[in-house]
A and B are shown apart, each in its own frame.
Chain A
């Protein structure tokens, strides 16, 4: 049977090898290119070698930002202390704080979508406007954003919120609307009041899908966070990348990019496991 047909069943070993193949190919290609470029020009900064990447990662992780005032007891710090005062950790904490504020503000959005889907007056009041607002590209109205929220932490979190909440609201609204009406009627016939139906019947039931929707929006959330940090910031992962771009510090940028990918992966994984644990009855992945 042809390898490319639908009916084949790859064995586990083959599947494992295949799934890592592109990684291996990409990494080999990268290091081959790096080596070639460095032969021509030992000072090349665009495609750093493994040693340079390692050095860049170590420096970012262990040394503080060059523009900051050095800690008074810098000499006597342990490895962990150095890591915690290093550039990478401080940038991570700064970005993570904004990320989680933005994430937390998604939950009121879920409630809004829920109420819009269930309570007709609520729905007609908000739906048209949110459909419109969803189409406004937040980045293009930055001057208005600055006037309303300044350019510090609040505006960065608000940029995330404005960018991502309409999607979450509309998604939750649709999920609410797709609950079979028999279920809602059932709720009433069992003595539930309006809010009971909203929270104990509908929300409980759509919650795993809502969590999946939020998981899917983690990347856009990160994108807006990055946009905010690249526009005006004093710290953060994207801030650092923007700075390093100015003089092609790829030996630090590449580790940063991989670090961000790892963090995003971990957040997504945590949410997926949490979803599974909280909602064992939910069959779709």
Chain B
């Protein structure tokens, strides 16, 4: 028997009111997203979503392909606007993407025309130096600082200094995503939005990335919204799992089918069981995925 209990509860606004308001980072209110098809009919993607994300949570959003989980992320990101309802970040309505919400997509996550280090320093440089001030002497002094900070991030992501001047197409998929995460985190965003960020990686690399993001989350206390279609990944990484599913026919929009908290001691319990299994099987180290 697995100690601890998995509490199943639908998101209940009444419960949330009990929590301090400052803890509430993202709120989706009565979100409906639909669009018109070529033949004039309307296709519903999201049908009445209410969701709150608190600071420090690692929320895994999971569902079948086409269930609208990416749409949900894009709403929080600000890349899409709902047909009905509002998205609020820190009490203010989200209208466009900005530096408060970091983004790691599945593909095209890095600028191909810039080296690894330039990709990471891009955010700080662009934020503080506009097109005009970019060429003032003050920039070059600050640039050294930016690059030093970028190197620190690189190393924290498990990359080597020799990778700094490489271009994205010279890196493997896993390394590219590491740089992408570093690039997003260097801006210290309030929430990190990851859209199937590991789905294009091979299983071995994927496992490594999962370890990395969990570690980074623990260290930086960044709020994370993590979209995936892999159940194991969702449960392993998240403190909370939100499942989106369609209520009926394909043409309906998705609703939140399940919203549960993952027990915090899941990892320990898993490790305990794994240890007992290993010991029982008589190997010093079971084959681990990288």
Instruction: Give chain B's interface residues, CB within 8 Å of chain A.
Output: 77-79, 96-99, 101-103, 105, 107-109, 111-114, 122-124, 126-127, 130-131, 167, 169, 183-184, 187, 189
Contacts and interface: CB of A to CB of B under 8 A. Distances in A.
A189 B103 contact: yes
* Chain A interface SS verdict (over half): helix
A119 interface: no
Nearest to B99: A191
Contacts of B127: 190-192
Contacts, number: 81
A190 B108 contact: no
Contacts of B114: 204, 281
Nearest to A191: B127
A192 B123 CA distance: 7
Contacts of A201: 111
B130 A196 contact: yes
Given A180-B107, A182-B109, A196-B126, A189 B131 contact: no
Interface of A: 180-183, 185-193, 195-196, 199-201, 204-205, 207, 279-283
A152 B278 CA distance: 89
Nearest to A281: B167
Contacts of B112: 205, 281
* Chain B interface SS verdict (over half): loop
B97 A189 contact: yes
A281 B113 contact: yes
Contacts of A193: 126, 130
A188 B131 contact: no
Most central of A188, A190, A196 by chain B CB within 10 Å: A190
Given A195-B131, A281-B114, 10 more contacts: A182-B103, A182-B108, A182-B109, A185-B97, A186-B109, A189-B97, A190-B122, A192-B126, A192-B127, A207-B113
A186 B126 CA distance: 12
Given A200-B131, A205-B111, A189 B126 contact: no
11 contacts: A180-B108, A185-B77, A189-B102, A192-B127, A193-B130, A200-B131, A205-B113, A207-B113, A281-B169, A282-B113, A283-B169
Contacts of B103: 182, 185-186, 189
Contact of A200 (B126, B167, B169): B126
Nearest to B102: A189
Contacts of A185: 77, 79, 97, 103, 105
B142 to A, nearest CB: 14
A192 to B, nearest CB: 5
B123 A190 contact: yes
B118 to A, nearest CB: 10
Contact of B113 (A196, A199, A204): A204
B111 A183 contact: yes
B99 A189 contact: yes
Nearest to B195: A182
Nearest to A206: B113
A280 B168 CA distance: 12
B97 to A, nearest CB: 4
B101 A189 contact: yes
A277 to B, nearest CB: 14
Contacts of B102: 189
Contacts of B111: 183, 186, 201, 204-205
A189 B189 contact: yes
Most central of A185, A189, A207 by chain B CB within 10 Å: A189
Nearest to B79: A185
Contacts of B105: 182, 185-186
Contacts of B130: 193, 195-196
